[in-house]
Amino acid sequence: MRRILVVDDEENLRVVARAFLKREGYEVEVAQSGEEALALVETFGPDVILTDVRMPRMGGLDLLATLKAKGNDATVIVMSAYGNLDLAIEAMKAGAYDYIQKPFKPEEVILALRKAEEREALRRENRALKQEILKENTFEDILAKSPQMQGVFRTILKIADYKTTVLITGESGVGKELVARAVHRRSDRRGGPFIGVNCGAIPENLLESELFGYKRGAFTDATMDRVGLFEQANHGTLLLDEIGELPLPLQVKLLRVLQEETMRRLGDSKDIKVDVRIIAATHRDLAAETQAGRFREDLFYRINVLPIHVPPLRERREDIPILLDHFVARNNARFGMTLRGFEPEARRLLTEYRWPGNVRELENTIERAMVLCEGERIGEGDLPERIREARDPIQMHLASGELSIKKTSRVIEEILIRRALQKTKGNRTKAAEVLEISHRALLYKIKDYRIDL
How would you write the pLDDT of the chain (453 residues) with one tens digit per residue? Answer: 689 999 999 999 999 999 999 999 999 999 999 999 999 998 999 999 999 988 888 888 899 889 888 878 889 998 887 667 777 778 887 788 888 888 888 998 999 899 888 888 877 777 776 667 667 778 998 999 999 999 999 999 999 999 999 999 999 999 999 999 999 999 999 999 999 999 999 988 889 999 999 988 878 777 788 899 999 999 999 999 999 999 999 999 999 999 999 999 998 889 999 999 999 999 999 999 999 999 999 999 999 999 999 999 999 999 999 999 999 989 988 887 888 899 988 998 999 898 999 999 999 999 999 999 988 899 999 999 889 876 556 655 665 667 788 888 888 898 899 888 878 878 899 999 999 999 999 998 888 888 866
pLDDT at 148: 94
Task: State the architecture of 146-311 in CATH terms.
Answer: 3-Layer(aba) Sandwich (3.40)
Which ranges in the chain are annotated with CATH 3.40.50.2300?
3-133
Amino acid at 196: G
Q: Which CATH number fits domain 314-392: 3.10.20.440, 3.10.20.30, 1.10.8.60, 3.40.640.10?
A: 1.10.8.60
pLDDT at 30: 94
Which are the contacts of 447, defined by CB distance < 8 A and separation ≥ 6? none
Which ranges in the chain are annotated with CATH 3.40.50.300?
146-311
| Cis peptide preceding 103, ω within 30 of 0 | yes
Q: Which fold has domain 403-448?
A: Arc Repressor Mutant, subunit A (1.10.10)
pLDDT at 133: 66
If we measure between CA atoms, which residue out of 83, 144, 109 comes closest to residue 24?
109
Q: How far apart are CA 206 and CA 321, in angstroms?
A: 42
Which ranges in the chain are annotated with CATH 1.10.8.60?
314-392
pLDDT at 174: 96
Q: How far apart are CA 24 and CA 42, in angstroms?
A: 24
Q: Which CATH number fits domain 3-133: 2.40.110.10, 3.40.50.10490, 2.40.420.20, 3.40.50.2300?
A: 3.40.50.2300
